[in-house]
Structure 1
Amino acid sequence: MMIREDAELHRAQRAFRSVLDAFARPGTVQSIELAPGNPARPAALDAALEAATRLFVDQAVTFCVADSETDATAAYLTSETHARRAPLRDADFVVVPARADAQTAREAVAEACRGTLASPEKGATVLMGCARLAEVPEGSQVAEPAVHVVALRGPGVERENRFAVDRADWLRARDARGDEFPCGIEIVLVDPDGRVAAVPRSSRATLLDVKQLAQGSATREQMFHVKHSGSAPGGAVEIGASAAGGASAASAEDRAFSVSAASAVGCASAAKEVR
């Protein structure tokens, strides 16, 4: 029992350092170890999102779950962390599972507490689940249906850090809030494989306009993965679709689109600036 507890403690410490690195270098993608399997865990809460939530949520704070199965997930987190549930606008931490629809995610970000000028630390942290995260190095190419490339600037960023994510509802809602620093919210993106990226309130985020070249639309179940292509110039990174049912490579290529992230950054008219 002691060995198991020590192993879990060390896992949590490593995960906490990774999340600190994500906040220290906004827009970079870090990795955390998944939480151990638990048969009581609700289906809405994947192991990575639970591991990230446990780093922040304990008996000293309040939380809210934004999902269709709010009660089951909230009851589980209360039992595991002893934290207290609170309404969305009052919660210290807001947990949004990856399966939450766009409207739910937007409402969670839009209504999260921004803090006050006297107490900006009361601003909420939104733990946003997503299907996949991937870092986009400078000069790389992105190829994937319905992927969004986000560029971050501000404290902790030398020039610009970029990452790819499958959803942008949270970013549009963040833009619509119109928070003025030091008030605002922190957002931590978490995918099922344990990749995390932080978007602090002090960061300026830009959603790049990635134009889809393929015909047809991608299904919501499609995922994307990052692979380094030996034949791609300049160490390009390709993010390709992986459809269920063993879709052929040719079919994936027909659906894929390709855009140069570096070119997109250079086109001011093709970018929407998000505060």
Structure 2
Amino acid sequence: MEQLDVIDGGFAAPVFDAQAVFRAVMDAMARPGTVQPVVALAQPPAPLSATAGAVALTLCDHDTPLWLDTPLQVSAAARSWLAFHSGAPLAPTPADAHFALVANPATLIALENFAQGTQEYPDRSTTLILQVESLTAGEPLELKGPGIETTAMIAPTPLPRHFVEQWKQNGARFPRGTDLILAAPDAVACLPRTTRIKMMEA
């Protein structure tokens, strides 16, 4: 890997690009299940996607330990790109991570392995950024909870194994628990820990 590969692909206008992505993520977190468009503002090396890379550059810095799943851990190009553009140190374990980047959600370890926060400081938990292929092509999920007027529907794919059951357990730990950012090719959607999920009936 050439040094140029690491330097290239970051935000062209860091302040404005980060603001645009941050607004999309915050809107998606405030209204779970809504799809917020994200323009491809970053061009990270594979297997890191453009959207997930942009979210990571927006949220991560030298004070936020970052955990990478296996496909990203074994990619020297992705690790170097993230280090150069975000400055985030790699978390030694999932429980040490402020953020986690997941290129392959289908093989993700259980959510309970990540930092859950404490009763006094529930924000000291891991926010997971999952790269998904689509927000509409998976099994439909019905969402309820704060920020949702009645119900919302989303159908992301791929998702972690036994996701609905894992998410039920995550909700039971409230106010502790993890939050999810779903990074699709051209948009983001969020699942904060307060959102309740069930499979939609056929």
TM-score for both structures, normalised by structure 2? 0.83
Deviation string 1:127-165 (CA, Å, 9 cap, x unpaired) is 00010113xxxxxxxxx6xx2111211111110111121
Are residues 1:55 and 2:62 paired?
no
Mark the structure with the bigger radius of gyration.
Answer: 1
Structure 2: which amino acid aligns with 1:53?
A
Q: List 4+ stretches of structure 1 deviating above 6 A.
A: none
Structure 1: which amino acid aligns with 2:62?
Q
Are residues 1:92 and 2:98 paired?
yes
Match of 1:120 in 2: 122
RMSD (CA atoms)? 2.2
Work out the CA distance in 2 between the residues paired with 1:101 and 1:188.
12
Match of 1:180 in 2: 173
Q: 1:92 to 1:191 in 2, by over 3 A?
A: same
Which protein has the bigger strand share? 1
Length, aligned pairs only: 188
Work out the CA distance in 1 between the residues paired with 2:147 and 2:105.
31
For the 8 Å contact 2:97–2:114, the answer to whether it is kept is yes
Q: 1:20 to 1:208 in 2, by over 3 A?
A: same
Match of 1:138 in 2: none
1:121 partner SS = coil
Identity %: 29
Bigger relative contact order (CA 8 A; separation at least 6): 2
Deviation string 1:226-259 (CA, Å, 9 cap, x unpaired) is xxxxxxxxxxxxxxxxxxxxxxxxxxxxxxxxxx
1:176 deviates by: 4.5
For the 8 Å contact 2:24–2:37, the answer to whether it is kept is yes
* Aligned ranges 1:106-185 → 2 under 5 Å: 107=109, 109-134=111-136, 147-169=138-160, 171-172=163-164, 173-177=166-170, 179-185=172-178
Q: 1:178 to 1:162 in 2, by over 3 A?
A: closer
TM-score for both structures, normalised by structure 1? 0.63
Structure 1 unaligned regions, length at least 5: 135-143, 210-263, 265-275
1:76 deviates by: 2.4
* Aligned ranges 1:1-275 → 2 under 5 Å: 7-37=13-43, 41-71=44-74, 72=76, 73-86=78-91, 87-97=93-103, 100=104, 102-103=106-107, 105=108, 107=109, 109-134=111-136, 147-169=138-160, 171-172=163-164, 173-177=166-170, 179-193=172-186, 195-209=187-201, 264=202
For the 8 Å contact 1:113–1:185, the answer to whether it is kept is yes
Deviation string 1:79-113 (CA, Å, 9 cap, x unpaired) is 2111111111110001001xx2623x2x0534111
1:42 deviates by: 2.8
Work out the CA distance in 1 between the residues paired with 2:17 and 2:87.
20
Work out the CA distance in 2 between the residues paired with 1:52 and 1:101.
16
For the 8 Å contact 2:127–2:179, the answer to whether it is kept is yes
Q: 1:163 to 1:177 in 2, by over 3 A?
A: closer
Structure 2 unaligned regions, length at least 5: 1-10
Work out the CA distance in 1 between the residues paired with 2:86 and 2:155.
31
Match of 1:235 in 2: none
1:184 deviates by: 0.6
